[in-house]
């Protein structure tokens, strides 16, 4: 009953002893803003920008992108909006980004990797559009890149983003090597966000598209939790935000565990926010840490 009562509560996310944990929304475009605001999202923790590119024969123009980014930023005055740069790969072919066929698209040229060579201009235009949209916007724009493998990727991306004047630059942690190098990686960026969908896939070497491997695709696996803990500990020691934006953040039983591992914000489908808010309100930070220790065991 307490959970039911709390699930109807509103307001910012916090533990029972008042530690703030931002509850953010995962969105796929301006059309998702209203539902996120209605659910009480404290901002956007993952704005997947793929919708602008998929199904197009030519890359979206700078102006098209600026309009779409502004429409999202306008929905969250005084809040943060974390936009993720294009996460394309051989499994989502784009006519203007011919990556060729690969034996293992999940392990191939996807995410940031696609833009470190020939197609750098696409990233450049996206970063320019994001920077332009952020000018004078009421929301605070944070920008992060997918499929960062290590601190070298992070440093390269941060250099590109900062060259456009973007101030809050981050990296997704969704490759185990990035979690293992969280300390050096965090020295290159302002924040990180754990993509637990891919992090689980890569840690257990279990293709997330294969339902038959479902038993291996659990973010509750202690190996995945250990990587989250490494990232959380690195974030705490340098005082930088560590979010989770994969499906794990939407599980009300896992959310307190993630907080106990050092996570400072949770981003999820807007419909999941009330239950996660309620679950956090039932646990002190100390209890979250105890749950995390038990889960790691």
Residues forming contacts to Mg ion in the complex (CB under 5 A) are 174, 195, 198
Backbone angles phi, psi at 19, to 5 degrees: -75, 120
Residue 245 lies near ligand PEP (rule: CB under 6 A) = yes
Is 1 assigned a ligand-binding role in the annotation? no
Q: Using an 8 Å Cβ cutoff, are 166 and 130 in contact?
A: yes
Q: Using an 8 Å Cβ cutoff, are 222 and 254 in contact?
A: no
Is 84 assigned a ligand-binding role in the annotation? yes
Q: Minimal CA–CA distance to 161: which of 74, 84, 61, 50? A: 84
Please, what sign has the CA dihedral across residues 92, 98, 100, 103? negative
Indicate the residue among 87 and 229 with the shorter CB distance to ligand PEP. 87
Distance of alpha carbon 278 from alpha carbon 296, whole angstroms:
23
Q: Using an 8 Å Cβ cutoff, are 80 and 139 in contact?
A: yes
CA angle 194, 166, 227 (to 5 degrees): 15
Is 152 assigned a ligand-binding role in the annotation? no
- Which residues in 190-209 contact ligand PEP (CB under 6 A)? 195-198
Residue 46 binds which entry of ligand PEP, Mg ion, none, with Cβ cut-offs from 5 to 8 Å by kind?
A: ligand PEP
Decide if 56 is catalytic: no
In this structure, the strands spanning 168-173 and 80-84 are: unpaired
Closest contact distance (angstroms) between CB of 84 and ligand PEP is 8
| Residue of 246, 256, 262, 270 interacting with ligand PEP (CB under 6 A) | 246
Closest contact distance (angstroms) between CB of 198 and Mg ion is 4
Is 48 assigned a ligand-binding role in the annotation? yes
User: For binding to ligand PEP (CB under 6 A), which residues are involved?
Assistant: 46, 48, 87, 174, 195-198, 245-246
Query: Which residue positions form the known binding site for Mg(2+)?
Result: 174, 198
Catalytic residue set? 245
Query: Which residue positions form the known binding site?
Result: 48, 84, 174, 197-198, 208
């Amino acid at each position: 009953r307490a959970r039911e009562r709390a699930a109807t509560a509103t307001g910012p996310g916090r533990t029972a002893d008042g530690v703030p944990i931002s509850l953010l929304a995962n969105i796929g475009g301006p059309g998702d803003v209203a539902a996120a605001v209605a659910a009480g999202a404290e901002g956007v923790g993952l704005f997947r920008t793929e919708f602008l590119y998929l199904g197009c024969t030519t890359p979206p123009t700078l102006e098209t992108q600026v309009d779409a980014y502004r429409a999202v930023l306008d929905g969250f005055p005084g809040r943060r909006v974390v936009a993720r740069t294009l996460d394309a790969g051989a499994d989502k072919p784009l006519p203007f980004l011919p990556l060729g066929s690969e034996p293992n698209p999940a392990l191939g040229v996807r995410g940031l990797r696609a833009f470190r060579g020939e197609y750098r201009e696409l990233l450049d235009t996206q970063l320019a559009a994001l920077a332009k949209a952020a000018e004078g916007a009421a929301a605070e724009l944070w920008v992060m890149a997918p499929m960062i493998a290590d601190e070298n990727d992070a440093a390269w991306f941060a250099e590109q983003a900062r060259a456009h004047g973007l101030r809050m630059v981050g990296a997704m942690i969704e490759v185990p090597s990035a979690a293992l190098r969280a300390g050096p990686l965090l020295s290159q960026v302002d924040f990180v966000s754990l993509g637990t969908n891919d992090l689980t896939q890569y840690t257990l070497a279990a293709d997330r598209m294969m339902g038959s491997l479902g038993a291996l695709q659990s973010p509750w696996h202690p190996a995945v939790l250990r990587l989250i803990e490494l990232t959380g500990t690195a974030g705490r020691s340098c005082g930088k935000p560590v979010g989770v934006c994969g499906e794990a953040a939407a599980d009300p039983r896992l959310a307190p565990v993630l907080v106990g591992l050092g996570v400072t914000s949770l981003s999820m489908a807007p419909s999941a926010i009330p239950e996660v808010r309620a679950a956090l309100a039932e646990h002190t930070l100390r209890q979250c840490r105890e749950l995390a220790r038990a889960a790691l065991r």
